[in-house]
Amino acid sequence: MNAPIDLAALKSRQQTVWASGDYAVIGTTLQIVGEQLAEACDLRWDERVLDVAAGNGNATLAAARRGAHVTSTDYVGTLLERGAERARAERLDVAFQTADAEALPFDDERFDAVVSTFGVMFAPDHAQAAAEMARVCRSGGRIGLANWTPDGMVGQLFKAIGRQMPPPAGLQSPALWGTRAHLEALFGDRAASIAITPRVFNFRYRSAAHFIAVFRAWYGPVHKAFAALPADKATRLERDLTELLDGLDVAGPGSLVVPGEYLEIVITRR
């Protein structure tokens, strides 16, 4: 029998991973996802919106651009600083607060909408994170999520990393958040409805080598994986990622365009 996972220790390691590199370099390219999620959630002027695991603030900015009163949270303070820089540049009035997705420091039913783009799905305790998002969302409010799918490019990227650096035994995969069954298990009792729309974000780079170089430098999980692996395993990971990206490329010679499948989810709170 496997020993119980030390979630506190795991979370501490995750914070270190996401604080490495500079996620904002990658995150800003995903801005369209936040904009589409804000529209899907029908965010309105003066609504109270919480962005959970906000990263560099894509959903935060999208909500603020629609006149919402936004509180942007993450457990990595340096990421919030990137979001704050962007908000100041656009003269958007946003509150930024360091907070753990599994222990949100807000009253019950505080917000009209709670959103997360590729963020809360990485919380180690899925059930607790979902319960917290539901707790702080008012009855009739919306929980909006953008989650990578297991079989999409990002899901396969994490599988490739896992072949060289296996995750702790018993840990739930973040990509489960990109499946209907898992979402219904997490939110079903708290949801009046769960609307799921499959979407695609296109990653655009010069080549597979360019993609890997950018992610190796700036994207925490890839950055840390290459830094921790011995040379032979790092070489295998680079080979596997190259094969993955070239196999999914729809651009043809001279460029790289790789569709990344994700689910756009809007949950109406019961």
pLDDT band at 3 (very low <50, low <70, confident <90, very high): low
Look up tokens 């010679």; give the residue. 253
Taking the domains of the chain in order of start, what are their residue ranges? 7-149+167-201+260-269
In this predicted structure, the answer to whether residue 18 has a pLDDT above a threshold of 60 is yes
Of the listed ranges 2-16, 69-83, 134-148, 196-210, the least confidently predicted one is 2-16
Question: Is residue 206 classed as helix, strand or coil in its secondary structure?
Answer: coil
Question: What amino acid occupies position 57?
Answer: G
For residues 53 and 74, is the Cβ–Cβ distance under 8 A?
A: yes
When the pLDDT of each residue in the chain is averaged and rounded to a whole number, the result is 96
> Which token pair is 250?
């729809």
Question: Is residue 50 classed as helix, strand or coil in its secondary structure?
Answer: strand
Look up tokens 């070489």; give the residue. 235
For residues 63 and 51, is the Cβ–Cβ distance under 8 A?
A: yes
- Mean pLDDT calculated for residue range 171-175: 94
In this predicted structure, the answer to whether residue 4 has a pLDDT above a threshold of 90 is no
Q: Which of 1 and 194 is assigned the larger pLDDT? A: 194
Q: Does domain 7-149+167-201+260-269 have CATH number 3.40.50.150?
A: yes
> Which token pair is 211?
């993609």
pLDDT tens readout for residues 215-244: 999 999 999 999 999 999 999 999 999 999
Q: Which residues contact 242 (CB under 8 A, 6 or more apart)?
A: 208, 209, 212
Burial class (CB in 10 A: 0-12, 13-18, 19+), 69: middle
Find the farthest-apart pair of alpha carbons in the chain and give their distance in angstroms, rounded: 54
The span from the CA of 56 to the CA of 82, in Å, is: 5
